[in-house]
Structure 1
């Protein structure tokens, strides 16, 4: 029995991270899956075309962010979902009309999993099975939450919800109140159904009121996480936050 993973798997987060798929399988199972699967690296803006998805419909994300985008005839687009490190995308049985487009939002490392090897492992290995089902279940819950956000929440509430989504999903080790926003604001706007200017205005609004603080372009420190949570949950009573530059209370903008 092999005791070391395949060379291409040794530094892959799908193997090195304890909660990921390949960390749950035996060396022999990993060798079989690795030999029959294919790795790939995408640059920002590159997509996985339809023919590739027909041949390799199961994809595991090792690093980076892939978006599921839908394009309308007039060029408008919406981002329906973000897939990040550790996520498993299963596009089997989805018609081309409903499949959308998987497009990288930054540098993405992924593995196109052999369907036969994947199914064989999931059938026999209960630990791997739990990881897969847990991942797909979380994707479903995120889709439900996102649908509710788009339908009922205002701009600031949607952004607050997304900050907490990033906090739940981040895999790098940070301090308790630090959050990395892994996508550009233009992409975030497409995901939240807002204009990029509105996203920037909401971030500035939260920072001016001392709820968050930016450490660089994408790293946020939560200064008043409970208040941000109340905003994310739609609590309008959380909106009377003192503006630090003015000696008065100002109502947060929800437009």
Structure 2
């Protein structure tokens, strides 16, 4: 099943019946949860090649919205379960993807719980750069399709703090801001040290 979403469109809402698993063939998806007081916590950004929609219960554990125009391939959960019984190697692959999702969630808890604003933003930029590296693409520039408010809600910071930290990184020669979306990494070694807790 092919799914096309325009930027800002919703794929599913937290609690919806989890009857499909999706693979992103093009674009970017934002996944988030709503806190009891109505605030939004962005828990991840998924791009080309990523899977989403894994669920251990009947309902999705988060909401998913398109950041950009996005194309996905949807798989019926019931049909997929039958397919996995016939092809154990595929089940192992999907279990690996689910385990990676858990590792990412654990990293996010560390990011929000212990790191400073500079460490959080540096970690965020490095994570996007590492995705490019795994795809055999140049690690710079990084194109961030999401809004600053999305990044703020992901890192648990205010928009003002995000802007100040970007400016600080630029002045220190860590990055170059070509525009709101395109960021050139100028000193990856120092950026990694900042992500690890070293003062920029």
Query: Normalized against structure 2, the TM-score is what?
Result: 0.85
> Residue 56 of structure 1 contacts residue 112 of structure 1 at CA under 8 Å; is this kept in 2?
no
Please tell me whether residue 100 in structure 1 is matched to residue 55 in structure 2: no
Deviation at 1:174, TM superposition (A): 4.0
Deviation at 1:51, TM superposition (A): 10
Counterpart of 1:205? 168
Structure number with the bigger relative contact order (C-alpha 8 A, sep ≥ 6) is: 2
Deviation at 1:215, TM superposition (A): 3.3
Counterpart of 1:164? 126
Larger radius of gyration: 1
Deviation at 1:191, TM superposition (A): 0.4
Deviation digits for residues 113-158 of structure 1 (CA, Å, limit 9, x no counterpart): 0223322333344553443233222211111111101000011100
Counterpart of 2:181? 218
Select the residue among 100, 107, 119 that pairs with 1:138.
100
Determine helix, strand or coil for the equivalent of 2:17.
Answer: helix
- C-alpha distance 176-86 of structure 1, shift in aligned 2 (>3 A): closer
- C-alpha distance 73-145 of structure 1, shift in aligned 2 (>3 A): closer
- C-alpha distance 146-73 of structure 1, shift in aligned 2 (>3 A): closer
RMSD after superposition: 2.6
Unaligned runs of 5+ in 2: none
> Residue 14 of structure 2 contacts residue 61 of structure 2 at CA under 8 Å; is this kept in 1?
no
Distance 2:109 2:35 in 1: 19
Counterpart of 2:138? 175
Counterpart of 1:75? 38
Counterpart of 1:21? none
Select the residue among 73, 91, 110 that pairs with 2:72.
110
Aligned residue pairs, count: 199
* Deviating more after overlay: 217-226 vs 190-199: 217-226
Query: Normalized against structure 1, the TM-score is what?
Result: 0.68
> Residue 54 of structure 2 contacts residue 98 of structure 2 at CA under 8 Å; is this kept in 1?
no
